[in-house]
Chain A
Amino acid sequence: MNWITNYVRPRINSIFSRREVPENLWSKCDSCGTMLFHREISDNLNVCSECGHHMHITPRDRFLALFDGGVFSEIDVPEPLTDPLQFRDQKKYPERMKAAQKGTGEKEAMLVAAGEIGRTPVVCAAQDFSFMGGSMGMYVGNAIVKAAEEAVRLGRPLILFSAAGGARMQEGILSLMQMPRSTVAIQMLKEKNLPYIVVLTHPTTGGVTASYAMLGDIQIAEPNALICFAGPRVIEQTIREKLPEGFQRAEYLLDHGMLDRVTDRRKLREELIVICRQLMKMPPPTWGDLPAPGPDEAKMPQTKPAK
């Protein structure tokens, strides 16, 4: 069963997902306006081949490209309470959730997986900006706690890709409480001296930036990603002046000492492999097209089914 769920199914899925023909074969780069063929975009990890603009990429697509042979096993995240505050604005919260689930085909705003990158065992978590702005609620908190627990249990580094507008208002104070909660999760890793690497992607703002996304041993950002606590609009309204060009963008933060690196998405996998192996005192990686891990290796990252 495990061999099938962890190895065969992802492979089959990846074949089929690649065959899906998108409605629009051509799309326009948001930045330079060049028309790009869909295959060209996906082969390029949603980076514009003309101007290098980094477009949105779903956690699943990211993981397919990141893990060796596109093979990873998804880690089940414990389900939190549904709508704990019975929150209601113009729409009910559960209705907003359903719409987001339908729109993305995902359960929630974070995907957690274990697998190998360049034959380096890791646990990865990625936040999905297309799911309610990637907002951090209890599920995202649970996902980070689970990811940290798995990394500790397996003795692996945790790589986290952040992307969020901030906390999920529909969960009120409980979303705010995910700031200390996720910080506890990161401390569990640090106590075991396991690397915690954060990749900040566009955009990472609000309470997410002010908690787990800024506590990495290594802080990497994708080019031109907006990274901030308060957004530029709020600041402009407060100080009533125009902000400088590139303010709160990855390169600006790098200049101000807030990041270790700004790395092109197409180089990211290599970098993560190098860093993880160095920090884990593993021998240098073997480069080149490695075959996907065999069934034995694929079995490794497997987790207990959720109860």
Chain B
Amino acid sequence: MTHYLDFEKPLAEIEGKAEELRALARDNEGMDVASEAAALDAKAQAMLKDLYGKLTPWRKCQVARHPERPHCKDYIEALFTEYMPLAGDRNFADDHAVMGGTARFNDMPVVVIGHEKGNDTQSRLDRNFGMARPEGYRKAVRLMEMADKFGLPVITLIDTPGAYPGKGAEERGQSEAIARSTEKCLQIGVPLVSVVIGEGGSGGAVAFATANRVAMLEHSVYSVISPEGCASILWKDSDKMREAAEALRLTAQDLIKLGVADRVIPEPLGGAHRDRAVVIANVGKAIAGMLEEMDGHKAKDLIRARRQKFLSMGSKGLAA
């Protein structure tokens, strides 16, 4: 059962009808519905093209948060071999909102770290909906240090609504943990590449995405605050999230113009969840491409380039 977003309602109807027809045909042999079903399919396809060809920023947010969208775990399982999950911050706990460990990417040993949101009620609760606590960032810092020590490239997959606003998280130094993780990103002498696969939510995203190269999926978003949060502060009305999403310039396409993202990874028509294999392969290609760009670079050059990149951030505005 596909989950449809609110703006996909008309699409749901057509696809539902096509499905019904086919079901009917299965039950009544000799009933020929092929041409009718194909016509409906074509109509659905055209509608998808139309809808997804001009997604508004708010709709992009919805697609980026789609419950069936492939998550970090899916990418790790498909793109990496020998994934060895490594747990814990050696201080307090293991944060299940952050996955990480050593693995091989195209046979090359790497460290992979990412936010995992979970895909059903139980795993979502276990993963805390991808909202990391301080332990998650501290685990990431530990893994980045290890990667630096052994000269392994680091790949981070970003998909978080933001850091977890909880009592314990604050008591254990949420802000310090994020600051240290960002700092660590800037210190390691190995290639660091990030892919925003869904939501890049504020500080929680920056803590992993302060990278040499940042790629974004076509319908992913990356923002200083959620559109709802921004709307409730600036418009005093959280229902103004459409306006806020527009104003924040959080789409991959805008972030390329602003120099925050380096490349956009295409998604299948209708969003990543409609064809997982394709989007996973595209992400794999992008990671390989980004790593290749840094092939043979020395540690100090990688650090210098990364710093320079972030120092010069903001010199580019959106042309009027």
Instruction: Give me the interface of A with B, judged by CB distance under 8 Å.
Output: 80-81, 83-90, 138, 141, 145, 167, 169, 171-181, 183-187, 206-207, 209-215, 227-230, 234-235, 238-239, 241, 243, 247-248, 256-258
Q: How far is the CA of A183 from the CA of B210 in the complex (A)?
A: 10
| Contact of A145 with B171 at beta-carbon distance under 8 Å, contacts A173-B260, A174-B258 already known | no
Whether A174 lies near B166 (C-beta < 8 A) is no
Q: Is the CB of B203 within 8 A of A207?
A: yes
Q: Are B224's CB and A235's CB within 8 A?
A: no
By a CB distance below 8 angstroms, the chain A residues around B16 are none
CA distance A83 to B163 in the complex (A): 27
Q: Which residues of B contact A145 (CB under 8 A)?
A: 311
When C-beta atoms are compared, the residue in chain B nearest to A145 turns out to be B311
Residue of B174, B176, B230, B233 ringed by the most chain A CB atoms within 10 A: B176
Residue of B nearest to A174 (CB): B314
Q: CB distance B170 to A228 under 8 Å?
A: yes
Taking the nearest CB of chain A, how far is it from the CB of B117, in angstroms?
A: 16
Nearest A residue to B174 by beta-carbon distance?
A: A229
Which residues of chain B have C-beta atoms less than 8 A from A241's C-beta?
167
Chain B residues positioned under 8 Å from A86 (CB to CB): 318, 320
List 26 A–B pairs whose Cβ atoms lie within 8 Å, in order of A's numbering. A81-B315, A84-B317, A85-B258, A85-B317, A85-B318, A89-B243, A145-B311, A167-B202, A169-B225, A169-B233, A172-B247, A173-B255, A173-B260, A176-B224, A178-B313, A180-B185, A180-B206, A184-B307, A207-B203, A210-B203, A210-B207, A214-B179, A215-B179, A215-B183, A229-B163, A256-B173
> Footprint of A on B, CB under 8 Å?
163-167, 169-176, 178-180, 182-183, 185-187, 202-203, 206-207, 210, 222-225, 230, 233-235, 243-244, 247-250, 255, 258, 260, 307, 310-311, 313-318, 320
Q: When A and B form their complex, what is the total count of cross-chain residue pairs whose Cβ atoms lie within 8 Å? A: 174
Cα–Cα, bound, A12→B194 (Å):
53
Chain B residue with Cβ nearest A83 = B317
Inter-chain CA distance A177–B307, complex, in Å, is 12
**Cβ contacts under 8 Å, A177 to chain B:** 206, 260, 310, 313-314
Nearest CB on B from A133, distance (A): 10
Closest residue of chain B to A173 (Cβ to Cβ) is B260
**Chain A residue contacts of B310, Cβ below 8 A:** 177, 180-181, 183-184
B314 and A80 within 8 A (CB)? yes
Q: How far is the CA of A227 from the CA of B206 in the complex (A)?
A: 20
CA distance A214 to B167 in the complex (A): 18
Q: Are A183 and B202 in contact (CB under 8 A)?
A: no
- Which of B167, B172, B180, B230 has the most chain A CB within a 10 Å cutoff? B167
**Bound CA span A239–B167, Å:** 8
- Given A89-B243, A210-B175, A181 and B183 touching (CB < 8 A)? no
| Separation of A87 and B313 alpha carbons in the complex (Å) | 18
B307 touching A187, Cβ below 8 Å: yes
- Which residues on B sit within 8 Å (CB–CB) of A178? 313-314
| CB nearest to A230 among chain B residues | B165
A173 touches B224 (CB 8 A): yes
- Interfacial chain B residues near A209, Cβ < 8 Å: 175, 179
Which residue of the partner chain, among B173, B174, B234, B311, contacts A89 with CB atoms under 8 Å?
B234
Chain B's closest residue to A91 (CB) is: B234
Whether the pair A207, B170 counts as a contact (CB closer than 8 A) is no
**Chain B residue nearest in CB terms to A133:** B233
How far, in Å, is B309 (CB) from chain A's closest CB?
9
**Smallest beta-carbon distance B310→chain A, Å:** 4
Give the chain B neighbours of A85 by CB distance below 8 A: 247-249, 258, 317-318
* A211/B182 in contact, CB under 8 A: yes
| B250 engages A173 (CB within 8 Å) | yes
Contact A214 B186 (CB under 8 A): no
Whether A172 contacts B248 by the Cβ 8 Å rule is: yes
The answer for the CA separation of A203 and B320 in the assembled complex, in Å, is 35
Q: How far is B169's CA from A132's CA once the two chains are assembled, in angstroms?
A: 27
Most buried by A among B182, B255, B320: B182
Q: Is B167 touching A235 in the complex (CB atoms < 8 A)? A: yes
Question: In the complex, how many angstroms separate the beta carbon of A136 from the nearest chain B beta carbon?
Answer: 10
Q: Which residues of B contact A183 (CB under 8 A)?
A: 179, 182-183, 186, 210, 310
A167's partner among B165, B222, B224, B258 (CB-CB below 8 A) is: B224
Chain B residues lying within 8 Å of A88, measured Cβ to Cβ, are 247
Q: How far is the CA of A81 from the CA of B203 in the complex (A)?
A: 23
- How far apart are the CA atoms of A212 and B313 in the complex, in Å? 16
